[in-house]
Chains A and B, each alone.
Chain A
């Protein structure tokens, strides 16, 4: 048995309502022995060798933050790209300041281009948004380089703009590109279905194994920087299990990684195909043989209802979208029901991606049928994302015993845009209806779905508590949540969503010694500054990991 270590702190916010505050925590072999004060810890300290570590004397300790829904593989594709974004992005290897004008955008892109040594390197930048950055087209990009392929990947991933060198680099004759109704070679734009042609070429760069491994290295640091000690990968695999697992386990399975990953596998390998129930069950059961302390599969499976929220493809009930377009299903409703039934009946926890109110309605209809056929308690059927909902659906979520893992950042980045251009004020202002969840007593977690939102739990807390939008206005003030609820949503309630609450999520005897070390107490700062609280670092299973400032 190892020696006991005692961390003292200005304050420990345990997130255990039975004893919310403390000043000292004793740990041994990566687990908490007792939390309290040096005085109350005395029986342990008298009985065993120990040392007192006072380095957090001026800091505030919280349970290690948990993001129960993000996708390391997707993030690894994006992070090696050059970010030029309208909003500031703090990344582990760089700070990307907000770039909000056309000229600033061009200057920044030219600067990046000049900084690249290798003559044949393809430049891919992400974050372009016409509202801020104006008209960036082929000619403008040719002005930056005649020889280096430049691809400008739009913020919501649905358009790519290329210079002449990039159009040539795609390797398809201009005649073939020209005839495509959604490729415009004059402006260099590839959009909607034409985007696939550009992506097919760009994929060769972003999926190149070395670059992908480097991207994953950046993901690792991003997650640490946000103060996380546990994350959920909520749809494994992204594409190909064997190569993906090799890289993920190589990069994220090492001893120097300060967090654990719970993998939640897809219920079926392709959204639209059901496959044989026994095959899907066997495939998922097989995953658990890979479990280690750091990387593991558990009882969860992931399913998909309706389309992406950023892509405006959520399924909306009447009156739908202002422009009359329709959302899409990611799984046929019947197939989703059959898959849910398969896994419900063997006692799995179902995590269902739902973005629009009609998508949510489908998930709840299915849950209601399953409860009728084979009632279960403590099943933790989880609504993932929770974009648009109705107040009536909140009651149904409660009545059926479901819980929620929400991306509240939608409200911040898209609230006003969707108000003006998509679904109108009433429904846009009530997206991420978290206040209602809190009032109904429904447990909920906050997630980033990184890179749909920054992987910064305190940023999500800030949005949930204030509901401040991109322009700085407050949208849907009735749906703000208490700070207590928001902090639970990145700690103990997030652990509950992942089914890990006996091990992590609060600071109490017996749990893992995971802490997030803050420079200020969230309960003492102004709510409007929650996102700005500096994170000193983390403690993961008793080991101290400061965030390196570069």
Chain B
């Protein structure tokens, strides 16, 4: 054991969904102190009301020379974070879209006081195959995918069943042996991203089998019966780790922010303006989770 701060690198090309993932992470409780380092606050919801979890902080990297390391402040930022009076339990670092992820992971994961947790590469399911044929970025895109511990495949909800199969097959062809998690609207399995190391920090190429997680989301077009939903959630089987989302109660019109973790449920009124949606994360197979999700829908809809 050592007391190095675990650091997770979130990489992926422009438009791959990194920002959405980060916004999602910032908006829900993590249960430990998390520092999120981003390239630009531009699209990040640093709005206090959205940073739900106590102890989470977002830090922006400032400008450095673009073609050499002078004035590049990634290292300086990591030093500053490590020197906080209460250092975070985990750091999430957003790599830029053009970064070679292994390079960023090597810098961050070997930085004094840090240890690489995992390297997640986001990929937009609707565009990744086209990008991988583009004359300018194909090399970069393939190299990003191949360097991942886990590929976070985003926007799969926009694909038909056949297309989902095609992209899965394509990924296992171009990036064999690398785990893929489906991510809808940025909702990733936090345990998978920030849980425990999925690789040993020094051996960038060594892969370990992943813990098996599944996530499912329920986009809620209609208002639901909040009372029924509460009953259903309290009766969820133990393999469900987390549930998170926003629903509108049919009778009162109130919006509730729903957080469920480790058997505890919180349902509080919220002003957060997002499309109603519930995300479930479970240990187990995707099939059983999807089945559970559809049961939930049936019972809570009016």
- Show the binding face of A for B, using Cβ within 8 Å: 74, 77, 157, 172-173, 176-177, 179-183, 192-197, 199-200, 203, 206-207, 235, 237-240, 266, 269-273, 275-276, 304, 307-308, 311, 315, 326, 328-335, 358, 361-362
Instruction: For residue B70, give the distance in angstroms from its CB to the closest CB of chain A.
Output: 6
B40 within 8 A of A: yes
Q: Does B98 contact A (CB under 8 A)?
A: yes
Interface residues of B in 59-80 (CB under 8 A from A): 61-72, 74-76, 79
Beta-carbon contact of A176 and B63 below 8 Å:
no
- Say whether B66 contacts A271, CB under 8 Å: yes
5 of the cross-chain contacts (CB-CB < 8 Å) are A182-B106, A196-B72, A207-B71, A270-B40, A272-B98
Q: Which of B68, B98, B112, B137 contacts A172 (CB 8 A)?
A: B112
Q: Given B14, B100, B134, which contacts A335 in the complex, CB threshold below 8 Å?
A: B14
Q: In the assembly, what is the distance between CA of A240 and CA of B70, in Å?
A: 12
Structural contact, A239 and B63, CB atoms closer than 8 A: yes
Contact: A240 with B62, CB < 8 Å?
yes
Inter-subunit contact B110/A333 (CB<8 Å): no
Whether the pair B68, A239 counts as a contact (CB closer than 8 A) is no
Contact B68 A308 (CB under 8 A): yes
Q: Does B98 contact A74, Cβ atoms closer than 8 Å?
A: no
Nearest first, the 7 A-B pairs at minimum CB distance are A272-B96, A239-B71, A200-B75, A176-B112, A193-B106, A180-B110, A172-B112
CA–CA, A235 and B98, complex, Å: 20
A195 to B204, alpha carbons, bound, how many Å?
18
Q: Are B63 and A333 in contact (CB under 8 A)?
A: no
A86, chain B: closest CB distance, angstroms: 20
Q: A332 with B13: in contact, given A173-B112, A179-B202, A200-B79 (CB under 8 Å)?
A: yes
Is the Cβ of A328 less than 8 Å from the Cβ of B40? no
Could you list which residues of chain B lie within 8 angstroms of chain A, going by C-beta atoms?
A: 13-15, 39-40, 42, 61-72, 74-76, 79, 96-100, 103, 106-107, 110-113, 134-137, 139-140, 143, 202, 204
Structural contact, B110 and A181, CB atoms closer than 8 A? yes
Whether the Cβ atoms of B63 and A240 lie closer than 8 Å is yes
Cα separation A77 to B72 with both chains bound (whole Å): 14
Contact A273 B42 (CB under 8 A): yes
Find A206's partner among B13, B62, B70, B113 (CB 8 Å cutoff).
B70
How far apart sit A31 and B40, CA to CA, in the bound complex (Å)?
47
The answer to whether B67 and A199 touch across the interface, beta carbons within 8 angstroms, is no
Given A270-B63, A270-B66, A272-B97; 20 other pairs, CB 8 A cutoff: A74-B68, A77-B70, A172-B112, A176-B113, A181-B110, A181-B204, A193-B103, A196-B74, A197-B111, A206-B70, A207-B70, A239-B63, A240-B62, A240-B63, A272-B96, A304-B67, A308-B67, A308-B68, A333-B134, A333-B137
